[in-house]
Amino acid sequence: MSATTVTTRRSSKRPEEQLLDDVDLDLVAALQIAPRTPVNALAEILDSSPSTIARRLTRLREERLLRVVGRVDWPLITTENPRQVWIRCAPGRSREVAHHILELAEVQTLLLTTGHADIYCTVYPLAGTDIFDLLTNRLPGIPGIVSTESQLVLRAHTMGQSWRLHRLTDARSDRLREHTDPVTRERPTSYDQLTELERRALELMAANGRITAADIARELGISRSTAYRTSQALLESGAIWPRVEIEPTLLGYPLNALMSLTVLPHAIPAVLDTLGSHPSARYVSMVAGSVSMNHYGVFRDEEDLARFITTDLGAHPEIVTVNTCVAVRVLRRHWTDRDGVHLGRMHDGFLRHG
Residue among 28, 67, 35 nearest 176 (CA): 35
- Quick one: how far is CA 257 from the chain centroid? 14
* Beta bridge mates, 315: none
What confidence score (pLDDT) does residue 238 get? 94
For the cut 80, the answer to whether the pLDDT of residue 1 exceeds it is no
**What whole-number distance in Å separates Cα of residue 192 and Cα of residue 195?**
8
For the cut 90, the answer to whether the pLDDT of residue 14 exceeds it is no
What confidence score (pLDDT) does residue 352 get? 61
Residue among 36, 284, 38, 44 nearest 182 (CA): 36
What confidence score (pLDDT) does residue 159 get? 87
What confidence score (pLDDT) does residue 12 get? 65
- The answer to whether 204 touches 352, Cβ cutoff 8 Å, is no
For the cut 90, the answer to whether the pLDDT of residue 112 exceeds it is yes
- The answer to whether 36 touches 267, Cβ cutoff 8 Å, is no
**What whole-number distance in Å separates Cα of residue 112 and Cα of residue 119?**
5
Q: What is the pLDDT of residues 63-106, one digit of tens each?
A: 999 999 999 998 898 999 999 999 999 999 999 999 999 999 99
Which band of pLDDT confidence, cut at 50, 70 and 90, is reported for residue 203? Answer: very high
Q: Distance between the two ends of the chain, CA-based, in angstroms?
A: 81
**What whole-number distance in Å separates Cα of residue 97 and Cα of residue 134?**
15
Whole-number average pLDDT of the chain:
93
Q: What is the DSSP string of 268-315?
A: HHHHHHHHHTSTTEEEEEEEESSSSEEEEEEESSHHHHHHIIIIIITT
Regarding beta strands 240-245 and 107-114, do their DSSP bridges make them parallel or antiparallel, or are they unpaired? Answer: unpaired
Regarding beta strands 293-299 and 281-288, do their DSSP bridges make them parallel or antiparallel, or are they unpaired? Answer: antiparallel
**What whole-number distance in Å separates Cα of residue 174 and Cα of residue 324?**
36
Q: What is the pLDDT of residues 235-247, one digit of tens each?
A: 999 999 999 999 9
**What whole-number distance in Å separates Cα of residue 305 and Cα of residue 301?**
6
For the cut 70, the answer to whether the pLDDT of residue 354 exceeds it is no
Burial of 225 (0-12, 13-18, 19+ CB in 10 A): exposed
Residues 6+ apart with CB under 8 A from 222: 197, 216, 230
Residue among 246, 250, 239, 164 nearest 206 (CA): 239
**What whole-number distance in Å separates Cα of residue 271 and Cα of residue 249?**
27
Q: What is the pLDDT of residues 249-278, one digit of tens each?
A: 999 999 999 999 999 999 999 999 999 999
Mean pLDDT of 1-7: 39
**What whole-number distance in Å separates Cα of residue 348 and Cα of residue 239?**
16
